[in-house]
Amino acid sequence: MSDEDKFSIEDGTLLIKFARDNIENFLKNDRRMIVPDEIREKFGDKYGVFVTLNKFGYPDNPLRGCIGYIEPKFALYDVIHRVSVSSATEDPRFPSVSIEEMDNIVIELSILTPPELIEVDVPKDYLDKIVIGRDGLIVEKGMRRGLLLPQVPVEHDRNWDVETYLKHTCNKAWLGDNDWKDIKTTKIYSFQAILMEEKSPRGEVVRKYIK
C-alpha dihedral, 79 to 82 to 84 to 89, nearest 10°: -150
The answer regarding whether domain 116-191 maps to CATH 3.40.50.2000 reads no
Domain definitions of the chain by residue range: 4-113+193-207, 116-191
Residue 192, classified by CB atoms within 10 Å of its CB into exposed (0-12), middle (13-18) or buried (19+), is: buried
Global pTM reads 0.84
Residue 103: predicted pLDDT = 96
Q: Which residue has the higher pLDDT, 5 or 113?
A: 113
Residue 151 pLDDT more than 70?
yes
DSSP letter (8 states) at residue 208? -
Residue 13, classified by CB atoms within 10 Å of its CB into exposed (0-12), middle (13-18) or buried (19+), is: middle
Residue 2: band (very low, low, confident or very high) from pLDDT cuts 50, 70, 90? low
Residue 194: band (very low, low, confident or very high) from pLDDT cuts 50, 70, 90? very high
pLDDT tens, 19-73?
A: 999 999 999 999 999 999 999 999 999 999 999 999 998 877 789 999 999 889 9
Give 79-129 as a DSSP string: HHHHHHHHHHHT-TTSPPPPTGGGGGEEEEEEEEPPPEE---SSGGGHHHH
DSSP run (H or E) holding 132? none
Measured between alpha carbons, how far is 68 from 77 in angstroms, rounded to an integer? 13
Neighbours of 58 (CB within 10 A): 10
As a whole number, the mean pLDDT across the chain is 93
Measured between alpha carbons, how far is 100 from 20 in angstroms, rounded to an integer? 13
Residue 59: predicted pLDDT = 75
Residue 204 pLDDT more than 70?
yes
Measured between alpha carbons, how far is 59 from 76 in angstroms, rounded to an integer? 31
The answer regarding whether domain 4-113+193-207 maps to CATH 3.30.700.20 reads yes
Residue 210: predicted pLDDT = 67
